[in-house]
């Protein structure tokens, strides 16, 4: 098989590898839509390790099944499917008392481009096909579908972790694609005032479209002061961190009310420790809960998100700002993620 990946830290390109072998519960798919992600760029240029040597990248993909294992019941060759970014085996007993993302060990649910090759390949092996894949309905566009495996499921995790309730004042820090989905998810979960922090004009417009009632920009002064002003000095019930630096993170904690939740969706790779200001947590007696979580995967999660798109509750295709065509264009789309032009929210590659 052929794929685009990382040979070693900082060195990316096309590679030829042996075809994946389809186990009894697995499926093999060819990609029909792929979205590169900031995580792919981190894996290529920032992270290091044996698992990132000669590794095909990618984890956001819609595929067409070309082979199924002997024990796969619900999928057949030719089916178009959503392939989640997180694909646990669902066979470890930890599933019964833990999070599927970590059943059997920390981060074991992230198979693509870590334990095995990712989705920037002409042949993609999906383990536990019946438990991980979701059939793509004909009435959902590839652009919308391709935002479900990571952007939508991760963004929606924000208000879930933050336990947003009807009428809550919610803050979303960072309105890249994940933050924008966190805004949309918070609105659907009943947010009242919904404040988003961001500056890029197209992201600000889309945040308002997805439900933000107020926008706070770093350019207009201290963000914490602006948020306290917008909430009459009370702060927010829930804060979702989907971007920004450590200072933003600490300010999100600081502006959260006593009893409120702070949900982090960022993956912090470049720091070795947190140094949370004591004021932000009210001398650690402020009854503030800080949580962080990883992209939920699996079939049911994908089917639930699909049903929301199908019912018109949210249109994640609005995140797609750049389109590429053909398998080879994965390289151009990946390079666009590296360059991150100001008008970029999310690129997709559509493959015949
Ligand atoms: Zn991703």
160-180, pLDDT tens digit by residue? Answer: 999 999 999 999 999 999 999
- 3-state SS, residue 132: helix
Average pLDDT of every residue of the chain: 96
> Whole-model pTM?
0.97
Q: State mean pLDDT over 26-45.
A: 96
Q: In the predicted model, is pLDDT for residue 251 greater than 90?
A: yes
Give the single-character DSSP code of 331.
H
Phi-psi sector, 327: left (phi>0), alpha (psi -120 to 50), beta: alpha
Q: Which of 306, 294, 273 is nearest to 161 (CA)?
A: 294
98 pLDDT higher than 90: no
**317: confidence class by pLDDT, cuts 50, 70, 90:** very high
> pLDDT at residue 314 above 90?
yes
Residue 297 CA to its chain's centroid (Å) = 10
What DSSP designation does 20 have?
A: P
Count of beta carbons in the 10 Å neighbourhood of residue 198: 25
What is the 216 CA–ligand 1 centroid distance (Å)? 26
Question: How remote is the CA of residue 213 from the centroid of ligand 1, in Å?
Answer: 27
Residues with C-beta atoms within 5 A of ion ligand 1: 37, 39, 60, 150
Of 149, 117, 163, 127, which Cα lies nearest the Cα of 263?
A: 163
CB 162 within 8 A of CB 189: no
Q: Note whether 194 and 217 are within 8 A (CB).
A: no
pLDDT at 143 over 90: yes
Residue-range domain boundaries for the chain: 2-146+315-350, 155-292
Q: Say how many Å lie between the CA of residue 338 and the centre of ligand 1.
A: 14
Beta carbons within 8 Å of 336's beta carbon, 6+ residues apart? 36, 322, 344, 347
Q: Do domains 2-146+315-350 and 155-292 have the same CATH topology?
A: no
Query: Rounded CA gap, 320 and 43, in Å?
Result: 22
Residue 60 Cα to ligand 1 midpoint, Å, equals 6
The span from the CA of 235 to the CA of 174, in Å, is 18
**Residue 270 to residue 253: CA distance in whole angstroms:** 20
Q: Report how far ligand 1's centroid is from the alpha carbon of 247 (Å).
A: 24
Q: What CATH architecture is 155-292?
A: 3-Layer(aba) Sandwich (3.40)
| 203: three-class secondary structure by DSSP | helix
Task: Answer whether residue 14 shows pLDDT above 90.
Answer: yes
- How far does residue 94's CA lie from ligand 1's centre (Å)? 24
At 206 the pLDDT is 98
Q: In Å, how far from its chain's centre is CA 246?
A: 20
In terms of residues, how long is the chain? 352
| Residue showing tokens 């006593």 | 258
SS3 of the chain: helix, strand, coil, percent, to 5: 35, 25, 40
Distance from Cα 202 to the centre of ligand 1, integer Å: 20
CATH superfamily of 2-146+315-350: Medium-chain alcohol dehydrogenases, catalytic domain (3.90.180.10)
Both tokens of 333, joined, read: 């789309």
In this model, does residue 184 exceed pLDDT 90?
A: yes
């Amino acid at each position: 098989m052929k794929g685009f990946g990382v040979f070693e830290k900082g060195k990316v390109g096309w590679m030829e590898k042996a075809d994946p072998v389809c186990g009894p519960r697995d499926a093999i798919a060819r990609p029909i839509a792929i979205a590169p992600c900031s995580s792919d760029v981190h894996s290529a240029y920032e992270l290091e390790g044996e698992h990132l040597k000669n590794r095909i990248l990618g984890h956001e993909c819609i595929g067409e099944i070309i082979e199924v294992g002997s024990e796969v019941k619900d999928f057949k060759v030719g089916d178009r499917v959503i392939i989640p970014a997180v694909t646990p085996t669902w066979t470890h007993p930890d599933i019964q008392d833990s999070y599927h993302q970590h059943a059997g060990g920390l981060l074991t649910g992230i198979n693509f481009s870590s334990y095995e090759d990712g989705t920037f390949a002409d042949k993609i092996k999906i383990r536990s096909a019946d438990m991980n894949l979701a059939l793509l309905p004909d009435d959902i566009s590839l652009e919308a579908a391709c935002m479900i495996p990571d952007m939508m499921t991760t963004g929606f995790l924000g208000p879930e972790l933050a336990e947003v309730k009807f009428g809550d004042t919610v803050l979303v820090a960072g309105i890249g694609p994940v933050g924008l989905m966190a805004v949309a998810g918070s609105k659907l979960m009943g947010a009242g005032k919904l404040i988003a922090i961001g500056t890029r004009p197209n992201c600000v417009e889309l945040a308002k479209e997805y439900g933000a009632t107020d926008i706070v920009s770093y350019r207009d002064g201290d963000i914490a002061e602006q948020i306290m002003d917008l909430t009459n000095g009370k702060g927010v019930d829930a804060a979702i961190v989907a971007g920004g630096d450590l200072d933003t993170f600490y300010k999100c904690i600081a502006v959260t009310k006593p009893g409120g939740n702070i949900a982090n969706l960022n993956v912090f790779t470049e720091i070795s420790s947190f140094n949370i200001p004591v004021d932000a947590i009210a001398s650690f007696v402020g009854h503030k809960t800080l949580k962080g979580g990883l992209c939920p995967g699996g079939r049911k999660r994908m089917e639930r998100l699909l049903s929301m798109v199908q019912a018109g509750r949210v249109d994640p295709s609005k995140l797609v700002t750049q389109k590429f065509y053909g398998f080879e264009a994965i390289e151009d789309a990946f390079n666009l993620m590296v360059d991150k032009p100001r008008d970029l929210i999310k690129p997709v590659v559509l493959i015949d």
